[in-house]
Amino acid sequence: MPLRIRLAAVFALGTLFVLAGLGVLFYVLLRTSLQSSLDEGLSARAEALRTRLTGTSPPFGRELASASPFTQLIGADGRVLAASPPTLTDPLADSTVLTTARTGETFGTGSLRTAEDDDDDDEEEEESDEEQVRLVAEPVSLASGQQAVLVVASPTDITDLAEDRIRDVMVLAGTPMVLLSALAAWVLSGSALRPVERMRRQAAAMEAADIGGRLEIPRTRDEIAALATTMNGLLDRLQAARARDRAFVADAGHELRTPLTNLKAELELALRPGRSHGDLTEAVSAAAFETERLIRLAEALLALARFDADPLQLANRETVSVRDVLDRAVRAATPAAQAREARLRLHTDGPLLVDVDPDRVRQAVDNLLSNAIRHAPPATCIDVDAGVTPDPPATADGPERGDGSAARQEGRATVRITIRDRGPGFPADFLPRAFERFTRADTARSRAQGGTGLGLAIVAAVATAHGGRANAANHPEGGAVVSLLLRVHHPGEET
């Protein structure tokens, strides 16, 4: 059911209940007021007649002649001693009211029937001649010492008519008010929901492949305008994410195409007739190189895809020594460094226990060492340092990755792993995007040396997964410096 219909129905029902409640309350108060006013008049007339009748002797017609509208003097035996008009031969009050009235003033109701009705054999006509009356009964002491009951009555047709008219007016006036309330709710809800409907149409008009549109923000500055602003922010984030995905897919396709093309060319050359053993060996070696490059690229893409799906799944934490992790990484990278005529130098300030995933930290360190070895000039030294440091401010020379929420807690020390080479360093325009995917400081040289452009992106992902951060900068004395910050483990902490 549309919201406008529901709102109109709720308003109509609410108005109906309110009007019904107010109508019943007004009706009860009016009826009570009319009855109280009638009782006061009857009581005053009865008191005046009782004063005149006290101590008198029959006949009592003269005392009752001026009484109006209906009066009876009823004896102790229940017979009517006198009445006004004289045709009121049947007692107006029933036996219960008469019994109570002998002890004090009593109010009640009764029915009025004229004497001619007794001779009428038509029951329906007799019933039609009956008239409801309101009466008051009081005890009276006559001159003979006899106790009698004075009954003064008045017809209720006037009050009944007033009550009927009020009831009819409330019904006749309440129906249009309920309808007007439903109509007002319909119009107001339509006006309030018009911006929502407009935003819905705009959102429906956006194609699945193009979410770059924006919703029109109403000028009302209300909750709907805030909703439109929030939705536009969501669309912007979706557009940015989609642009990143498209760029990632395009870059990945480009990176995969190059080694696949090279691999195909080498295999085609190897299959040509008349190739010597040396040519075949060179072609197979080149194909193996391109295959290794494909494997590295596929593994890097898989790691980043897992990080995008759930960053925390990269961090199977346990308490390990940074010195041990770095020592194994340096030993593994030493042959590659020696092939480049470079030296690796490791320095740590103690064991440095940290709460990390050792495999992922090792992967990040291996990437940093691989980059440093690739760009280190011959006969130079690559420094691998680790030490405890207070939480430092953001580095101006390069971007920092990761939310850093754990590492930036007040009083929380961190372990900084720094790898520095003596190469040409990072170009100034490369530093702001050093940790973006498929970015290289020297595209042609890095690709020729087997670089995927994903090494620093994986380092940033690992840092983020551990609540730390990574930054890149140029050393004042030359060379590139890349740091990875990890939180220090404290005894008793949950891992």
User: Chunked in runs of 10, what are the mean pLDDT values of the chain (495 residues)?
Assistant: 81 89 89 88 84 71 67 82 75 84 85 55 51 85 79 84 86 86 85 80 69 72 82 81 72 68 77 77 80 76 70 71 91 89 90 84 88 89 88 42 40 81 86 77 51 76 83 89 78 45
Same domain? For 332 and 267 the reply is no
The CATH code of the domain that includes 411 is: 3.30.565.10
Same domain? For 159 and 44 the reply is yes
Predicted confidence at residue 492, as pLDDT, reads: 47
What range defines the domain where residue 296 resides? Answer: 223-304
Predicted confidence at residue 127, as pLDDT, reads: 46
Burial of 485: CB neighbours in 10 Å, binned 0-12, 13-18, 19+: buried
Q: Is residue 213 part of a domain?
A: no
Angle at 56 between CA 52 and CA 62, to 5 degrees: 65
Give the DSSP H/E element, type plus range, for residue 282.
helix 277-309
Same domain? For 292 and 378 the reply is no
Q: Starting at the edge strand that comes first in sequence, how are the strands of the sheet with 480-487 ordered?
A: 343-348, 381-389, 414-420, 480-487, 469-474, 400-401
Same domain? For 32 and 156 the reply is yes
Predicted confidence at residue 133, as pLDDT, reads: 84
C-beta separation of 177 from 20 below 8 A: no
Question: CA 489 → CA 319, 350, 467, distances in Å?
Answer: 7, 13, 13
Strands 353-356 and 381-389, how do they pair? unpaired
Residue 5: partners with Cβ closer than 8 Å, 6 or more residues away:
none
Residue 124: partners with Cβ closer than 8 Å, 6 or more residues away:
none
Q: What is the pTM of this model?
A: 0.49
Same domain? For 481 and 347 the reply is yes
First to last CA, the chain: 52
Same domain? For 263 and 395 the reply is no
Look up residue 42 and give its DSSP letter.
Answer: H
Q: Is residue 193 part of a domain?
A: no
Same domain? For 329 and 467 the reply is yes
Token pair 């602003």: residue:
229
The CATH code of the domain that includes 293 is: 1.10.287.130
Q: Is residue 205 part of a domain?
A: no
Same domain? For 334 and 258 the reply is no
C-beta separation of 264 from 291 below 8 A: no
Residue 435: partners with Cβ closer than 8 Å, 6 or more residues away:
399, 401, 456, 457, 459, 460, 470, 472
Predicted confidence at residue 467, as pLDDT, reads: 79
Predicted confidence at residue 345, as pLDDT, reads: 92
Predicted confidence at residue 327, as pLDDT, reads: 92
Token pair 């346990």: residue:
318
Give start and end residues of each alpha helix (H) in 116-222: 123-129, 157-205
Same domain? For 327 and 451 the reply is yes
Q: Which two tokens stand for residue 189?
A: 């809800």
C-beta separation of 27 from 166 below 8 A: yes
The number of beta carbons lying within 10 Å of the beta carbon of residue 68 is 12
Same domain? For 299 and 349 the reply is no
3-state secondary structure of 330: helix
d(CA 394, CA 142): 114
d(CA 109, CA 93): 7
d(CA 446, CA 430): 14
Predicted confidence at residue 494, as pLDDT, reads: 47
Give the DSSP H/E element, type plus range, for residue 61.
helix 61-65
Look up residue 306 and give its DSSP letter.
Answer: H
The number of beta carbons lying within 10 Å of the beta carbon of residue 395 is 16
d(CA 163, CA 148): 35
Q: Is residue 109 part of a domain?
A: yes
Q: Is residue 196 part of a domain?
A: no
Same domain? For 277 and 321 the reply is no
Predicted confidence at residue 113, as pLDDT, reads: 66
The number of beta carbons lying within 10 Å of the beta carbon of residue 222 is 11
Same domain? For 274 and 320 the reply is no
Q: Is residue 39 part of a domain?
A: yes
Q: Is residue 63 part of a domain?
A: yes
Strands 106-112 and 80-84, how do they pair? unpaired
C-beta separation of 54 from 144 below 8 A: no
C-beta separation of 68 from 84 below 8 A: yes
* Domain end point (choices 258, 278, 304): 304
C-beta separation of 368 from 344 below 8 A: no
Predicted confidence at residue 399, as pLDDT, reads: 39
Residue 315: partners with Cβ closer than 8 Å, 6 or more residues away:
356, 357, 360, 465, 466
The CATH code of the domain that includes 97 is: 3.30.450.20
Predicted confidence at residue 158, as pLDDT, reads: 83
Task: Give the count of domains, the chain.
Answer: 3
